[in-house]
Structure 1
Amino acid sequence: MNELQITELNGQRVLTTQQIADGYGTTNKVISNNFNNNRTRFEEGKHFILLVGEYLKEFLHSQNLGTQNKIRKLYLWTEKGALLHAKSLGTDEAWDMYDILVDTYFKVQEQQAPLTLDQQIAAIATGYGSVKEELIEVKDRVSDLEENAPLSAGEYNYIGSRITQRVNEVAHGYSSITQKQRGELYKDINRGVKVVTGISTRTQLRAKHFDTAMDFINNWEPSTATKMQLRQTSFDFES
């Protein structure tokens, strides 16, 4: 268990299906069947995160798994998702391993969690230095923590769905559009999101970026270069 590879998404520790299968002493197929047989119990964003498309590519790249091009979708399981699998499987091995996961793998996040504002103010009030000056410093640090907090799974997925909607809105303005042309639109809008937020991959998005990213997506129009490329592609296709 000490050699279990750390898997994270937006600062949250998760487990792949393979990791759960290995830990619970079973196979990927059993975990997948368990999920399908108990589908109504599993809630996306709470028990699992489904990665597809650009999200999947960026995640695989961040985990140095970029060569696994055959993967079309990937389920990542949260601590609560791992618990549901243990409950559903009901084996002693699954329960034993879940206890270990809670005490080690997921426990680290709890230990690293920053103090709340009230806790930090209470600590300052015990008599270290000037309370007023310390309080200002704490508020600044808390504001920084809040701004740099990872996006929630819901926010992350919402940005992705809004990008898809916006691309479809723009694509609708063309009489016809090929899959290749649609891909150029996705490249353009994703490139713009990275530029305005100052990130290199979408998995680096933080809470402070959300409003900026959404404002850009809602008002996005393809660049002149992309529009010219689309027209040239249409010309070549018609020829």
Structure 2
Amino acid sequence: MKHLQIIEKNGQRVLSTSQLAESFGTDSKIINRNFQRNADRYIQGKHYYALTGEELKAFKGSRQIDDSLKFASVLYLWTEKGAWLHAKSLNTDLAWDAYERLVDEYYHIKEKVVPLSKDQALVTVLRTTADLVEGHESIVKEQHELRKLITDVNYKVEEQITLDHGEQRRLQKGIATKVYELCDNPQNRPQLFRELHREIKDRFGVASYKDLKRKELQTALRYIENWIPRKVS
């Protein structure tokens, strides 16, 4: 996806109509036409912002938009939820794939947390333990603090461990089983795969199913087993 100029409105990232059209592989006229045809579904402040008059003038002064829009009398800015409605109207593989990338790479910037490996955690424990023993006055207190420290570190390490290869395969198998159970038409299965992957990422707040925590595996499998798509053909 082409690097997008960042535009912000009311503390959230938004996209101009031309940026949204380019991302979805279409043109602004189609975006505008879909909006006009489904205007009753779009809520200003939730799906989009329509800037006019002094508000538009002030926004242009913030220099968040390119020169091609400086003469516009109305400026539409689309939120993540607005982009979802447009992807739904277009309903093409390209639009859905682009929407996923927009969510992952533009609308949300997630802090990348790199879990400690067990070896790294062990080194941390040993170093901290050495400092702890050296600084304490009594052996009893040192032992108590050491046990508490090891327990805390082990808990934090377990909390951060993600799925290994075998667990990822188990999750993939669960997804495939559910899709094949719901749909007999091979042409419609890719859409269900994409929809289920999106909902897993949204449900567990991860960029990919591979980033699921090991402790969440059983919950994710139950979620997949009970999942109902928006529409099954």
TM range (shorter): 0.3 to 0.5
- Give the structure with higher Rg (CA): 2
When the two structures are superposed, what TM-score results if normalisation uses the length of structure 1? 0.44
Higher relative contact order, chain-length normalized (CA < 8 Å, sep 6+)? 1
